[in-house]
Amino acid sequence: MMLDVKDLRVAFRRENQPATEVVHGLSFSVKRGETLGIVGESGSGKSVVSLATIGLLPGTAQATGQILFNGQDILTLPEPDLCTLRGDKIGMIFQEPMTALNPAMRVGAQIAEGLILKKGFSKKAARAEALRLLNMVQIPRAAERIDSFPHEMSGGQRQRVGIAIALALQPDLLIADEPTTALDVTVQAEILNILDDLITELGISLVLISHDLGVIARITDRTLVMYRGAEMEQGPTEDILRRPGHAYTRKLLAAMPSRVRASLEVGP
């Protein structure tokens, strides 16, 4: 098992008050090459789970349980080891690409940076690889755009750059927290297709987080439904869509536009 999360609990300490638990004993696992969707409404704990998985919980968080990545527990791993894992073995795509990108650095240089620092690429080789990646995520006129700053690009283009950065170091596992939420529906579909093709081609495992079951349904093998920090159900995505076992999942399904339901061949 590539990622094996066992009985994860996360609580936040507050001054002069007892800590509040926001994730209540969550367990799930992801095999090599598998895609898992985590779906749930706003505040259900999805981002806390994704931050825990890459070892980026804030200092006020207390986490218990285990997050085994290739057998190593992320929760007890020393920071230098975590640092090596991040980017190198575990990539992350953030919800708002503008916050994840460095506004003062050309996008090509941002993609090249990790290749130079972590993979020993020469400057020239890293730039060539950055160009290849920009083409791979289908940035039009990539040879020109490689020297653009993030603010000179559209939201969709920035998100593609975010994907290129996450894929540059060829991680084994990619965590994407609401990667398309900020984008309009057509761009969203395009980016999901690109992501889907690339992870399949590269054999990367994916944890895709979204409040939108339509997004999850499109590209995941298995789905975990969360509500208020707890699991409602998990299983093959098809089963969750066709035979939701929980009233909350049925609510999420009912909230999907009928057009999306029809395209996924889910009943009324």
Ligand X SMILES: Nc1ncnc2c1ncn2[C@@H]1O[C@H](COP(=O)(O)OP(=O)(O)OP(=O)(O)O)[C@@H](O)[C@H]1O
Interface with ligand X by CB under 6 A: which residues? 12, 22, 40, 42-48, 58, 60, 211
The whole-angstrom separation of Cα 78 and Cα 72 is: 11
Q: In the complex with ligand X, which residue's Cβ is closer, 21 or 190? A: 21
214 binds, among Mg ion, ligand X, none (CB under 5 to 8 A by kind): none
Nearest approach in angstroms of CB 10 to ligand X is: 8
Nearest approach in angstroms of CB 194 to ligand X is: 23
Which residues pair with residue 5 across a beta bridge? 28, 67
The whole-angstrom separation of Cα 147 and Cα 240 is: 44
160 binds, among Mg ion, ligand X, none (CB under 5 to 8 A by kind): none
| Nearest in space to 194 (alpha carbons), one of 236, 222, 166, 153 | 166
Torsion, CA 25, CA 29, CA 30, CA 35, rounded to 10: -50
Q: In the complex with Mg ion, which residue's Cβ is closer, 47 or 72? A: 47
Which range of residues in 21-29, 33-41, 44-52, 227-235 is near Mg ion by CB under 5 A?
44-52
In this chain, which of 27, 29, 47, 138 binds Mg ion, going by CB under 5 A? 47
The whole-angstrom separation of Cα 120 and Cα 34 is: 29
42 binds, among Mg ion, ligand X, none (CB under 5 to 8 A by kind): ligand X
Nearest approach in angstroms of CB 77 to ligand X is: 21
Q: In the complex with ligand X, which residue's Cβ is closer, 48 or 115? A: 48
Residue of minimal Cβ distance to Mg ion: 47
Nearest approach in angstroms of CB 177 to Mg ion is: 6
Q: For residue 124, what are the contacts with CB-CB under 8 A and spacing of at least 6?
A: none
The whole-angstrom separation of Cα 112 and Cα 122 is: 9
The whole-angstrom separation of Cα 71 and Cα 69 is: 5
One-letter amino acid at 140 equals P
Q: In the complex with Mg ion, which residue's Cβ is closer, 137 or 176? A: 176
Q: Does 181 bind Mg ion (CB under 5 A)?
A: no
Instruction: Count the Cβ atoms, other than its own, within 10 Å of residue 114.
Output: 19
Q: In the complex with ligand X, which residue's Cβ is closer, 146 or 226? A: 226
Number of helices (H) and strands (E), helices first, in the chain? 12, 10
Q: Report the interface residues with Mg ion, using CB under 5 A.
A: 46-47
